[in-house]
Structure 1
């Protein structure tokens, strides 16, 4: 049970969806940020941006966000959940591009502390073809998910155990995005 009463059935509105319904005036900007970072037109595919979010959420040990964004990434990556699991286990040996691997190194540094992002990490990412926008957005995704993860876990929200819950949410997110989910369906 969450630390506060969100006024909704937590089993229908687990994780971040309960707090977002509790405070829709803050949910709107948070969903707009997620939409801009993870779904807007970009040189990094949506699945890779979701993978960065899942990876950072895993490092932060936020079960709900890690499982959600793992499902969202898997729904948009050719190798699906198998690839997501490989990256979460060991991004250095996972079959991903060297550019994505370099960006995940930056994301991991941000997760630990923004000051851990070094010129060397940025130069390595650039050497692998990362643009300044991709580096910027990787840092912002990692920083935003530090906030989202703490929001979810700080309120003690419910994280479903059933992977089908996350898969169903992934279908909604892929089809409708983050902004529409606040009013359209229970679990974003």
Structure 2
């Protein structure tokens, strides 16, 4: 007499409908193929959805690991300027001269020779880094930035400045920048015939 053998337990996936049904020989390979295909498709869909975020993470990491270096605009123009305080003073490398703007809403546009990865913008607000001279003119406490990239896309950022002399750094992380426009807003100290003063604007690219 042939001894009886205990039935072999089904794999866990065979206990879930529709796998509980009896399948023909060889159909296990088809099920495995379909399972793998579904997993691969799900991973591809997830990669497509997460790709922009992944790219941003990679670019931001490269910004932090690299050493930023200054990039000088090749052109600068303002919507308005006060006599004796031209907009070119914002890129002359000196913080005791400034661009004088008549009031809020005045803008300055910087253009660059080649597209670059803009990682930081450093703003020296007011008429000077000297506290006494700083307080002599008005200051913009918010600056709206519009960066234009090589393909014509515009990226908007808003900088909130502390009302104090000295430079203030604003991380940006925008690729392929060709033009930057800054708009002065939220004026402080704009009384008694004063105008808005902006001493220096510096741009830094990934090194």
- TM bucket (normalised to shorter chain) is under 0.3
Structure of higher CA gyration radius: 2
Q: Which has the higher helix share?
A: 1
Q: Give the TM-score taking structure 2 as reference length.
A: 0.23
Q: Which has the higher strand share?
A: 2
